[in-house]
């Protein structure tokens, strides 16, 4: 007999797919979400835990936020594969605090059965630009057999396809919220797991939750006030870099150790 609460999953953690804190937030469609353009965007990341996420979602509903719903669910599974050179040049650029840097990844959106090849570039002013092109889902794990996609990478990054390889997969479930004024949206990643493609080492972030707030820099943010009231502080982090640091012993990680310790404190908090 299954004695688990419908809001607790088999791992003993909160199942946000069934939790009223998320279910009771009004929905927004993907089509409407795609119309929200934040031209003067500021991105801020936070790390918290599942207990506090329940409170964040409850407050968000009270403030008029809506949740993206796809295929009748507001908790969407994502898988990303990150690519890098043999010596992890892109990871090392981030680790060494190089201001201008980039990432190459493929991402699978399981609910819509679509996949994209994405390039993220950060400039020396901290602004991030993303370019992407749709790919066949069969190419998600390794796109390099597609000449057209190879050209896309070469033209936009300077890397040759033969110089990069799949290195790390990140697996998580995402909640996406948008405020009533449509001046900010936030992604909330839960159940984060990392699989190192090179050595098969797996790690997870337990009950940690990664929030990324994307807001119009000219508009007031109610979510920032919610997070401030709950004492959730900003913490810059890259899922690719943290995942690599945790799963690859040969990768330099001393500049990430403080962030990893902060995240571990969240992982070790009891629900």
pLDDT, position 1? 34
Give me the pLDDT at residue 2, please: 42
pLDDT by position in tens, the chain (length 271) = 344 455 777 667 899 999 999 999 999 998 898 887 765 577 899 999 999 999 999 999 999 999 999 989 999 999 999 999 999 999 999 999 998 899 999 999 988 889 999 999 888 877 778 899 999 999 999 999 999 999 999 999 989 999 999 999 999 999 999 999 888 989 999 999 999 999 999 999 999 999 999 887 677 889 999 999 999 999 999 999 999 999 999 999 999 999 999 998 887 765 4
Residue with token string 């009231």 = 229
pLDDT at 75: 95
Q: How far apart are CA 112 and CA 127, in angstroms?
A: 29
Contact 90, 103 (CB under 8 A): yes
Give how far Cα 70 sits from Cα of 29, 33, 99, 260, Å.
7, 11, 36, 32
pLDDT at 5: 53
Closest CA to 52 of 28, 21, 82, 85: 21
- 7 in Cβ contact with 14 (< 8 Å): yes
Amino acid 269: pLDDT: 65
Residues 6+ apart with CB under 8 A from 181: 219
CA separation for the pair 207, 36 (Å, rounded)? 30
- The reported pLDDT for the residue numbered 256 is 94
Q: Tokens for 176?
A: 């996406």
Pairing state of beta strands 202-204 and 76-84? unpaired
Predicted pLDDT of residue 107:
96
- What is the per-residue pLDDT for 3? 41
pLDDT for 152 equals: 96
Which stretch of DSSP H or E encloses residue 213? strand 208-216
pTM, 2 dp = 0.91
| Phi/psi-derived region of residue 65, left when phi > 0, alpha when psi is between -120 and 50, beta in every other case | beta
d(CA 8, CA 261): 26
CA end-to-end span of the chain, whole Å? 23
């Amino acid at each position: 007999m299954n004695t688990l609460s419908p809001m607790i999953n088999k791992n003993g953690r909160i199942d946000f797919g069934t939790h009223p804190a998320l279910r009771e937030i009004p929905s927004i469609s993907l089509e409407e979400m795609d119309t929200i353009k934040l031209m003067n965007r500021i991105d801020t990341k936070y790390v918290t835990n599942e207990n506090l996420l329940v409170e964040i979602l409850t407050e968000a509903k009270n403030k008029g936020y809506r949740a993206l719903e796809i295929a009748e669910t507001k908790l969407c599974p994502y898988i990303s594969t990150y690519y890098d050179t043999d010596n992890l040049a892109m990871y090392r650029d981030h680790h060494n605090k190089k201001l201008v840097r980039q990432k190459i990844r493929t991402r699978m959106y399981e609910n819509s059965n679509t996949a994209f090849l994405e390039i993220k570039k950060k400039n020396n002013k901290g602004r991030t630009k993303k370019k992407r092109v749709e790919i066949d889902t069969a190419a998600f794990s390794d796109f390099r057999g597609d000449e057209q996609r190879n050209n896309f990478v070469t033209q936009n990054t300077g890397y040759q396809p033969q110089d990069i390889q799949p290195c790390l997969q990140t697996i998580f479930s995402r909640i996406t919220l948008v405020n009533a004024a449509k001046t900010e949206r936030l992604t909330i990643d839960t159940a984060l797991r990392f699989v190192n493609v090179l050595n098969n080492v797996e790690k997870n972030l337990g009950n940690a939750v990664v929030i990324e707030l994307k807001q119009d820099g000219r508009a007031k943010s109610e979510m920032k006030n919610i997070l401030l009231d709950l004492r959730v502080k900003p913490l810059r982090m890259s899922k690719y870099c943290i995942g690599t640091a945790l799963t690859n012993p040969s990768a330099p990680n001393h500049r990430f150790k403080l962030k990893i310790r902060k995240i571990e404190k969240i992982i070790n908090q009891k629900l």
